[in-house]
Amino acid sequence: MQSLLEMSRRIDAFTTWTGKRLAWLILVAVVVSALNAAVRKIFAVSSNSWLELQWVLFSMVFLLCSPWTLLDNEHIRIDIINNMLPKRLRDSIDIMGHVLFLMPLSIVMIITGVPFFLRSIEINEQSGNAGGLPQWPAKSLIMVGFAFLLVQGISELIKRIAVMRGIIPDPHESQVHALEAEIEHLVEAIEKH
């Protein structure tokens, strides 16, 4: 189990490193959007490639940062109900969710994404919009993003099993969620005034 936990630590380090860097693409997308809008309004010139670039940048963040979201335990779930359940049941639900839903979906998306991507390269698929971008880079994001998510899902599964066996402490137990931290910050600000 220790070798699996070491592999999990390496996966987590890669996911964190990748997520922190790719998250900056949101800023790039905002700048591209603002410049595109400004050029369109000021010079009455527009480019479909700039508009499509915004979509690709957002897609990169959404697909390639989803493993980071999973690692930080910020993925979607019904926390109100989940938090009322006993810890062991929550851990079991996480394991079953990963094994029955996350991993099979990721595998299906990778398997179906590869031919989708390869066909796009083969025909040198271009945007249907005049002056648009090639389509294969965006289509590659599907298989790459879900491959990253599958690998992070394996890491989460390893950690959850280790937590249930008492080998490691729960990495999310002492974690303060972003919403809770924001509420605490607002309460402190209100109390100061």
For residue range 149-169, what is the model confidence (pLDDT) as tens digits? 999 999 999 999 988 888 888
pLDDT digits (tens, 9 = 90+) for 5-36: 899 999 999 999 999 999 999 999 999 999 98
Q: Where are the beta strands (DSSP E) in the chain?
A: none
Distance CA 61, CA 23 (A): 6
**Cα separations in angstroms, 14 against 34, 58, 112, 158:** 31, 20, 25, 16
111-to-124, 132, 189 alpha-carbon distances in Å: 21, 27, 50
- Give yes or no for a contact between 103 and 67, defined as CB atoms under 8 angstroms apart: no
Distance CA 144, CA 67 (A): 11
Q: In angstroms, rounded to a whole number, what is the distance separating the alpha carbons of residues 150 and 132?
A: 31
Per DSSP, 100 falls in state I
Residue 126, helix vs strand vs coil: strand
Mean pLDDT rounded to a whole number for the chain: 87
Please give the average per-residue pLDDT across 174-186, as a whole number.
Answer: 68
Strands (E), 65-177: none
Q: What is the pTM of this model?
A: 0.80
Confidence of residue 178 (pLDDT cuts 50, 70, 90): low
* Distance of alpha carbon 81 from alpha carbon 61, whole angstroms: 29
